[in-house]
Chain A
Amino acid sequence: MIYFDNAATTGKKPISVIKAVENALLNLSANPGRSGHTLSERAATQIYAVREKTAEFFGASGAENVVFTANCTASLNFVIKGVLKRGDHCIISDLEHNAVLRPVHKCGADYDIARVSLTDDNITVENFEKLINPRTKMIICTGGSNVIGRLLPIEKIGGLTRDKNILFAVDAAQIAGVIPIDMKRMNIDYLCIASHKGLYAPMGTGILIAEKPIENTLIEGGTGTNSKDLFQPDFLPERLESGTVNVAGIIGTGAGIDFVKRVGVDKIHRKEINLLKRLYNRIYDKTGVILYAPKINEDGFAPVLSFDIKGLTSSETASLLNDRGIAVRAGLHCAPLAHKKIGTIDNGTVRVSPSFFNSEAEIDYLSRKIEEIGKKYNKYL
């Protein structure tokens, strides 16, 4: 099977990650931060080393601000519901995943949706700025769309939130490990990461890096310390890390960061974008193929490309590709706002998302199969 669904989770993990997870299961199966024996302390020390590595990689101020979660959605819920209250106002973009949209809708704060320009970052920033009012507490936005790959100008938006003295949270599900992120330089207060995607960690791993406080907790419970106190600790990461953490997954995350650093974020992004450019150039003029992106370029896009074949639903196309040994994702990709924006809310799109491990030969095979399906099944040909 050729796997092109890496925006959902990277399908192939580096051997170094697999070995690190195996080693953790073999040698670190002791609960960190709960006991005083050697194995527990060893596990805690290894977990702390991954916190340090993560903080350094994303330009955060300290290892203690790195909170390990189950996934990026959990990280976003911790931020949105932990910071916003009824009566607050926040701004999101029109490319948000439901991991942002639903908790924002649920938390009781008012929200506005800023339009992202697909061609001009300055217009995007202006659109956010226009929506700021005296009650605006936070801007929450994706770093890159999981439907069309469009990157948001997070450094410029971070400059805006700095000037306006409001908080800034970034959903980095599609960009962590693919686009360089420096929280200090970009003025990001809360960074939410899907470790199992661009950091090549196992599924069930996410990270929240919180440079500012999180007032309300979503989960309370054991933290291994001060057990007589009825209240959660007021410091990170324990404030948000009740219960046993995913030791093997976190160790895998550390190995994944090492892998990404070793290869280089720029190199990874360039390779993945070049694969998509290759696909784009091979299918953009094929009859019946609709591409939902202007020309792809490295500066403006995460490695995600959506398309449809006229006359077929996105699910039918994905199913036909699956029959030909290709894994892609069809539908709305949990991002209805993005589909309303590009006019695909009824049919959805077929999404192709390569990783560093995909090859040009695989892209060529995919493009041939798309052409073949277009010719065979397109009702309008």
Chain B
Amino acid sequence: MCNGTERREMGSFLLTTGSITYAIKGRDILRRAGFKARIERRSAGPGSSGCGYNIVVDGDIKTAESILREAGIKILQINEM
């Protein structure tokens, strides 16, 4: 994993969303845009705010992020897998 400033632009990424609703919405939007995307349950761990849902997306993360933000989906964090 790496933080936002170090990450590569292509690859597999975990996008942290605020809720299952936004995760599904984001997954569907990305799929419609041609991305391979799925949802993954995020378990509570040290330093986390609790359980949640991530979108796992393969491909150009900059484009994916831009599409999601344009659709009003708040991305809390992006991590490279």
Contacts and interface: CB of A to CB of B under 8 A. Distances in A.
Interface of A: 32-33, 35-36, 41, 44-45, 48, 51, 62-64, 223-229, 233, 235, 237-238
Interface string B22-45: 101100100000000001110110
Given A226-B50, A229-B49, A63 B41 contact: no
Which 8 pairs between the two chains have the least Cβ-Cβ distance? A36-B41, A227-B50, A33-B20, A48-B24, A225-B52, A228-B50, A226-B49, A226-B50
Chain B contact patch, size range: 20 to 34
Contacts, number: 65
B41 A35 contact: yes
B20 A32 contact: yes
Contacts of B22: 64, 235
B74 A44 contact: no
A228 B41 contact: no
B20 A226 contact: no
- Tell me what chain A mostly uses at the interface: helix, strand, loop, or mixed: loop
A63 B23 CA distance: 12
Contacts of B5: none
B1 to A, nearest CB: 19
Interface of B: 18-22, 24-25, 28, 39-41, 43-44, 48-53, 72, 74
A44 B19 contact: no
Given A64-B21, A225-B18, 9 more contacts: A41-B39, A48-B28, A51-B21, A64-B25, A224-B19, A225-B50, A225-B52, A229-B50, A238-B19
A224 B50 CA distance: 9
A241 to B, nearest CB: 9
Contact of A233 (B18, B43, B48): B18
A32 B40 CA distance: 13
Contacts of B74: 235
Give the residue among B21, B24, B28 with the most A Cβ atoms within 10 A: B21
A38 to B, nearest CB: 11
B19 A225 contact: yes
A32 B41 CA distance: 11
Given A44-B24, A227-B50, A228-B44, A235 B18 contact: yes
Contacts of B72: 62
A32 B52 CA distance: 12
7 contacts: A33-B53, A62-B25, A62-B72, A223-B19, A225-B51, A225-B52, A227-B51
A36 B43 CA distance: 9
